[in-house]
């Protein structure tokens, strides 16, 4: 049993996740799923861009594509549920479960923008009246 690096899956975690990974037997052979997951895990834990994944994990394009594809077909939900269920009631478990949420994953500065062409009206701050006289405007003659 090998000791995983800091951001890599343990043998126990991999034994739970491996049967859940989609298997596409035809076409070009896929990159090793465990190595890809370790690269994705490293990226999510560090908050780095996809391009900064260490070379030992391979091409960043592979990881970004696999992450998006698996999110689209619901693989991540099944993986998280299976790993959580495996750790429930495990007396040997030392509480080192990793969680990924919006506090540990940064969004690109342009990621929060609204779709182009969609306008939302800007409202004044709360407590501000919409009467022109409240802003010091003069009455129209």
In the block, tokens 């003659």 appear at: 141
Cβ–Cβ under 8 Å, residues 77 and 17: no
Helix axes 75-87, 60-73, angle to 10 degrees: 80
In a domain, 113, yes or no: no
Q: What is the domain range of residue 19?
A: 11-87
d(CA 36, CA 63): 6
In a domain, 105, yes or no: no
In a domain, 53, yes or no: yes
**pLDDT over 50 (residue 2):** yes
Three-class DSSP category at 81: helix
Q: In the predicted model, what is the mean pLDDT of residues 13-23? A: 84
In a domain, 3, yes or no: no
In a domain, 50, yes or no: yes
In a domain, 2, yes or no: no
**pLDDT over 80 (residue 56):** yes
Structure tokens, 138 = 């003069």
In a domain, 26, yes or no: yes
In a domain, 4, yes or no: no
Instruction: Say how many domains are in the chain.
Output: 1
Closest CA to 34 of 9, 4, 54: 9
* pLDDT tens, position by position, 89-140: 665 555 555 566 655 556 566 556 556 666 667 776 776 666 766 666 666 6
For the chain, the distance separating the N- and C-terminal CA atoms, rounded to the nearest angstrom, is 86
């Amino acid at each position: 049993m090998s000791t995983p690096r800091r951001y890599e899956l343990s043998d126990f975690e991999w034994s739970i996740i491996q049967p859940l990974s989609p298997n596409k037997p035809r076409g070009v052979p896929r990159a090793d799923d465990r190595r890809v997951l370790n690269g994705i895990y490293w990226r999510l834990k560090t908050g780095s861009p996809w391009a900064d994944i260490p070379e030992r994990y391979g091409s960043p394009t592979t990881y970004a594509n696999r992450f998006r594809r698996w999110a689209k077909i619901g693989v991540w939900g099944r993986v998280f549920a299976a790993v959580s269920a495996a750790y429930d009631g495990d007396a040997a478990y030392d509480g080192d479960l990793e969680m990924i949420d919006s506090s540990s994953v940064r969004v690109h500065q342009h990621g929060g923008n609204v779709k182009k062409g969609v306008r939302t009206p800007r409202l004044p701050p709360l407590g501000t009246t919409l009467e022109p006289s409240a802003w010091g405007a003069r009455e129209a003659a």
